[in-house]
């Protein structure tokens, strides 16, 4: 499918999402501006990156829009948008225009964006709370400050008047955590393309090859398969670079006998895959690399086995972490009993990140992992990564740990919670050491 056609949100789904927002808004109002256009330099535009919250509720991917969801007894959505403009469209391509915006979003009213400064104050003035992300600047923040000042100075005239500003994520993050079938179909495709990219990239891995050449093959395959491109900067690290968690310069040649860690994800229809595999550049893991690899892969399996409704995201992390700690003791890196080692936390030198993050329209999708000290309970339809790793940064590796110096291994899969467990969306890309070896080279 062409990457642009994939960017869609069925109208019934948009209506349902907005109904949930109106329920949560009460007498509040939510203001969602489009993301700004980014420039590579001066007047040359970068590909547009739409605001995910605006898209989630309106299906719009155009710059220059502002959606206002007005709660209360007659909830409605007003959208301010750019009018058609042949001169601007000559350079940047067609705009939806006001009618197109109405058709696509199902807004109750659509006005030219120039009217936002005159119409927004009245919409805000009647609300009891304004849900907006501070920092959006310009006309919108000016109107918000005005509405708050008026409410403070004069008191409510109609029984309402805004007294608070709340981040829209307070409502939207939880809604976005549970994916619909439509969203899952896009995530599945993003995962499928991500795996295809990994297979292509693994084939060009060899000792002495530039990390950049592997990255180029990975991203060629993403694009050729219909992805918008990589959803985040691809991580292709060889040798000690495997120990840099978010290594993105990808500008060193892979040393002899080294590992290559690829952490990358295709974006499809604005949704993401996110997969890490760690490959031996020679096509064969050394004894040390294999020993560490197998611990990490067992930790991935243990994390997946812990996924089920009513378990928590913390349970997943704990299951993976326990296997990593057992492995570190077996490898002679840590000593003592597992529970004490976990308690002391010495493993954090070698596993300094969490096991999971939510995945969806954002690669690090929003949503709290804990509230009031309690870990988030899993529900069917939640999508997240399971990505344990062990990183032996040379600076930490003296004495008995020296044997492992420079080895960094992460294995990352994407899962969706099902009625009774987990479906691994990236299961078609093997993780077993022997099969990973088989993916490397021609
Ligand atoms: N690529 C960043 C991550 O896996 O979270
Ligand atoms: Mn990743
Ligand atoms: Mn990830």
Confidence at residue 268, expressed as pLDDT on a 0 to 100 scale = 98
Nearest ligand (C-alpha, residue 234):
1
Cβ pair 378, 310 in contact under 8 A: yes
- Report CA-CA distances (Å) from 204 to 129, 210, 413: 55, 10, 22
Atom of ligand 1 nearest to the CA of 232: 1
Query: Are 184 and 313 part of one and the same domain?
Result: yes
How many angstroms is it from 388 CA to the middle of ligand 3?
Answer: 10
What is the C-alpha separation between 103 and 80, in angstroms, rounded?
Answer: 14
Query: Are 155 and 244 part of one and the same domain?
Result: no
- Examine the pLDDT at 442 and tell me if it is beyond 90: no
* CATH code, domain with 433: 3.90.230.10
And the tokens for 251?
């500008």
pLDDT in tens, 136-190: 878 899 989 988 888 888 776 666 688 899 999 999 999 999 999 999 999 999 9
- Beta strands per DSSP E along 148-217: 164-166
Query: Are 159 and 257 part of one and the same domain?
Result: no
Query: Are 125 and 185 part of one and the same domain?
Result: no
Query: Are 169 and 184 part of one and the same domain?
Result: no
Q: Is 166 helix (H, G, I), strand (E, B) or coil?
A: strand
How many angstroms is it from 26 CA to the middle of ligand 1?
Answer: 36
How many angstroms is it from 8 CA to the middle of ligand 2?
Answer: 25
At residue 40, φ and ψ (nearest 5 deg) are -75, -40
What is the C-alpha separation between 269 and 131, in angstroms, rounded?
Answer: 27
What is the C-alpha separation between 424 and 182, in angstroms, rounded?
Answer: 17
Per the structure, how many domains does the chain have? 2
Confidence at residue 137, expressed as pLDDT on a 0 to 100 scale = 79
Query: Are 139 and 196 part of one and the same domain?
Result: no
Angle at 60 between CA 56 and CA 63, to 5 degrees: 120
pLDDT in tens, 102-149: 999 999 999 999 999 999 999 998 899 999 999 887 889 998 998 888
Atom of ligand 1 nearest to the CA of 276: 4
Q: Which residues have any ligand 1 atom within 6 Å of their CB?
A: 232, 263, 274, 357, 387, 412
Cβ pair 180, 11 in contact under 8 A: no
pLDDT in tens, 261-288: 999 999 999 999 999 999 999 999 999 9
Query: Are 239 and 315 part of one and the same domain?
Result: yes
Alpha carbon 117 to chain centroid, angstroms: 33
And the tokens for 106?
């199902």
Report DSSP state, residue 349: G
And the tokens for 249?
């310069």
Among 117, 127, 169, 167, smallest CA distance to 148 is for 127
Query: Are 72 and 216 part of one and the same domain?
Result: no
Last residue of a domain, one of 175, 210, 245: 175
Last residue of a domain, one of 123, 149, 175: 175
Atom of ligand 1 nearest to the CA of 357: 5
Provide mean pLDDT across the span 296-312. Answer: 98
Nearest ligand (C-alpha, residue 277):
2
For β-strands 389-391 and 408-410, DSSP reports them as antiparallel
Among 433, 435, 409, 397, smallest CA distance to 239 is for 409
Neighbours of ion ligand 2 (CB under 5 A): 263, 274, 412
At residue 354, φ and ψ (nearest 5 deg) are -80, 170
**For the chain, percent of residues with pLDDT exceeding 90:** 89
Specify burial of residue 174 (Cβ count, 10 A radius: 0-12, 13-18, 19+).
middle
Confidence at residue 156, expressed as pLDDT on a 0 to 100 scale = 62
Alpha carbon 376 to chain centroid, angstroms: 18
Alpha carbon 281 to chain centroid, angstroms: 29
Query: Are 324 and 298 part of one and the same domain?
Result: yes
* CATH code, domain with 84: 3.40.350.10
Query: Are 34 and 145 part of one and the same domain?
Result: yes
Last residue of a domain, one of 128, 154, 175: 175
> CA gyration radius for the chain?
25
Atom of ligand 1 nearest to the CA of 387: 4
Q: Which residues are catalytic?
A: 43, 246, 263, 274, 353, 357, 364, 387, 391, 410, 412
And the tokens for 290?
């294999």
How many angstroms is it from 196 CA to the middle of ligand 1?
Answer: 18
Among 1-10, 97-106, 240-249, 412-421, where is mean pLDDT lowest? 1-10
What is the C-alpha separation between 350 and 432, in angstroms, rounded?
Answer: 21
Edge-to-edge order in the sheet of strand 413-417 = 383-386, 413-417, 422-424
Query: Are 231 and 141 part of one and the same domain?
Result: no
Query: Are 162 and 187 part of one and the same domain?
Result: no
Confidence of residue 298 (pLDDT cuts 50, 70, 90): very high
How many angstroms is it from 387 CA to the middle of ligand 2?
Answer: 8
Cβ pair 105, 14 in contact under 8 A: yes
Question: Which residue out of 276, 317, 391 has the highest number of ligand 1 atoms within 8 Å of its CB and is therefore the one to mutate?
Answer: 276
Question: Which residue out of 273, 389, 412 has the highest number of ligand 1 atoms within 8 Å of its CB and is therefore the one to mutate?
Answer: 412
Question: Which residue out of 190, 248, 263, 408 has the highest number of ligand 1 atoms within 8 Å of its CB and is therefore the one to mutate?
Answer: 263
What is the C-alpha separation between 205 and 200, in angstroms, rounded?
Answer: 9
pLDDT in tens, 174-184: 999 999 999 99
Domain of 346, in residue numbers:
178-439
């Amino acid at each position: 499918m062409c990457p642009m056609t994939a960017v869609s949100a069925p109208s019934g789904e948009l209506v349902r999402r907005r109904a949930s927002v109106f329920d949560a808004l009460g007498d509040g109002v939510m203001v969602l501006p489009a993301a700004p256009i980014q420039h590579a330099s001066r007047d040359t535009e970068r590909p547009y990156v739409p605001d995910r919250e605006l898209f989630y509720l309106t299906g719009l991917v155009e710059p220059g829009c502002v959606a206002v969801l007005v709660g209360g007894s007659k909830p409605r959505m007003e959208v301010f948008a750019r009018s058609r403009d042949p001169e601007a469209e000559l350079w940047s391509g067609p705009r939806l225009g006001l009618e197109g915006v109405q058709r696509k979003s199902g807004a109750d009213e659509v006005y030219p964006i120039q009217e936002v400064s005159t119409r927004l104050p009245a919409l805000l003035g009647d609300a009891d709370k304004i849900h907006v992300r501070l920092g959006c600047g310009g006309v919108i923040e000016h109107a918000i400050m005005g509405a708050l000042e008026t409410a403070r100075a004069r008191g409510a005239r109609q029984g309402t008047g805004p007294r608070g500003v709340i981040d829209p994520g307070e409502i939207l993050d939880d809604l976005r955590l549970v994916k619909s079938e439509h969203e899952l179909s896009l995530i599945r495709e993003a995962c499928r393309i991500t795996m295809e990219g990994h297979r292509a990239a693994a084939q060009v891995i060899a000792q002495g090859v530039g990390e950049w050449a592997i990255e180029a093959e990975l991203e060629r395959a993403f694009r050729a398969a219909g992805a918008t491109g990589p959803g985040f900067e691809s991580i292709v690290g060889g040798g000690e670079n495997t120990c840099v968690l978010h290594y993105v310069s990808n500008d060193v040649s892979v040393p002899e006998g080294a590992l290559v860690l690829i952490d990358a994800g295709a974006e499809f229809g604005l949704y993401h895959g996110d997969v890490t595999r760690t490959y031996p550049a020679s096509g064969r893991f050394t004894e040390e690399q294999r020993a560490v690899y197998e611990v990490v892969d067992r930790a991935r399996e243990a994390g997946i086995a812990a996924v089920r409704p009513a378990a928590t995201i913390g349970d997943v992390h704990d299951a993976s972490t326990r296997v990593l700690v057992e492995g570190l003791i077996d490898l002679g890196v840590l000593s003592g009993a597992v529970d004490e080692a976990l308690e002391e936390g010495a493993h954090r030198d070698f596993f300094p990140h969490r096991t999971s993050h939510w995945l969806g329209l954002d690669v690090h999708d929003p949503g709290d992992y804990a509230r009031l000290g309690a870990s988030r309970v899993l529900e069917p339809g939640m999508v997240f990564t399971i990505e344990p790793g062990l990183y032996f940064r040379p600076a930490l590796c003296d004495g008995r740990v020296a044997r492992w110096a420079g080895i960094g291994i992460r294995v990352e899969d994407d899962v969706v919670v099902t009625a009774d467990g987990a479906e691994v969306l990236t299961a078609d890309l093997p993780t077993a050491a022997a099969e990973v070896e088989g993916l490397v080279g021609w």
